[in-house]
Structure 1
């Protein structure tokens, strides 16, 4: 009798070698920078119970009766300020695509690995890209949420959507989810190198640096979300690497929404107060974003710069995200290769 092991081996040979997929995922973007495009995006984003936990009747009335009637036109104007008109897409989409392409080049010696990218909200969807990787023969897929710090409203909702996509597949690929990398030495080093390189190009010396992270309702942290602690850990590691104390590298939170209390101190209020206190030169870095987007290019580089100058500040610099820079790509490459161990 032929051993079962040999039969399985023959079947594997007949099926041919399987591929491994890597899917980079970022938050999302409207498909167009007009009110209609922003409305579609906001509806998907704000209907996610990971983002707005109370999805009850009152919230649905507010969302559909007020927010989706007023906010899309306002936000469309903001997107228009930063839109990549050449490609007719947001910078976040341009950068995330480039990150995927550069990662594919960086690990090209692993010829059975396919790299793709997706957005949690908007297009290309996680479902469509997981299906595309599976169609290419990927029976194992590493999903990489491009958020250095974990939160249920970002990293966890990527996992939710990925497994929802798998729920409709009969032949499911095996999934791995990469962990947050908020205190990874490679990430901290890349941030420090990027900050120092950008500061060296400025015509002024900042009196201090503001590290601005995306905010979240304080109640989410009170319920157990580790996001705040991971932002603190990133900031403390960056202070140590740059040789700065807490008075020279401040931790703040931006992008609050609604009337609830969010994580503090608030970025806009801090920047306003710094200017009123006589600080004339600052730089702002956004270590919670892997790629420049509306929150960095418009909210920080434009809105908060105006707040600073309006209240007496003189020189303001927004330090770019790591994006697809050599340092940024090295972080992603090393993260991916580490998490693919045993598969490649």
Structure 2
């Protein structure tokens, strides 16, 4: 059974108001306002009493009135390239959860990997009075960042940024992640490589990953043969497995075939694994295949997938905490860049003929 709030608890006999909360909590209305607008200025004992009164009265603060008093909207904007990518969901959930614990709501918008659309969305959020903004990646016009600085709106970039960028970022080094997997395959004796990747168009994170493969191979006197490189022609996350399977067929048909294929994400890698099985190619005996992201199915594919684990939730939490600190007026450095983890499983092994 759900307890019903007695009408006698309110002074008006209708919906409870802030004054009712103050009366039930045994504090002043100013204290309730202080609790709502800056809870750290209220003692824990008083916070507990106000929270109990709010629960008892089932009171929902009037956001518009609160904003007029505090000159804040208690909302944070988040602009992501797409909601089709399963890894972005985890980051957003952690981001929203941390902000929600501080009484902040999150508005999410998708740029569809279009920098100008991202700028338009950011302007709209600023116009609606968001207190801060999180941007997945920093591939946006300089005018967007100029706007945020001019309006003194705290912002943070997540997932990754350009090497020459000075934006605060909760992310990781995308180039380093692919340097790690490429070097490991070189250590296993592989000298012929193939690559199946998503599009690099308007995505400097993917471009950095692909660039790291080229650079690491070049350092070892090697290079990708053009027929062994397959890139999607768009940024959609739809159709990745069919693309990977078709690309795998084409790559393996150009002799001498690679002994290792590096994929841009786990979905592409799973598509490659499926086609290898269909073609009767032994993985990892004849061919090694690697992915990126470490989505749940990676550990359960057959063979299980070697991949790079990305700290999605940690990025969301770090980004949220950075904005919380900025909004509270605390001095804070840019979040530390996070490490990625190479997870070696059954889909990679020594190159054929290597003892």
Task: Give TM-score, length-normalised by structure 1.
Answer: 0.40
Where relative contact order (Cα < 8 A, 6+ residues apart) is larger, the structure is 1
- Larger Rg computed on CA atoms: 2
Task: Give TM-score, length-normalised by structure 2.
Answer: 0.39
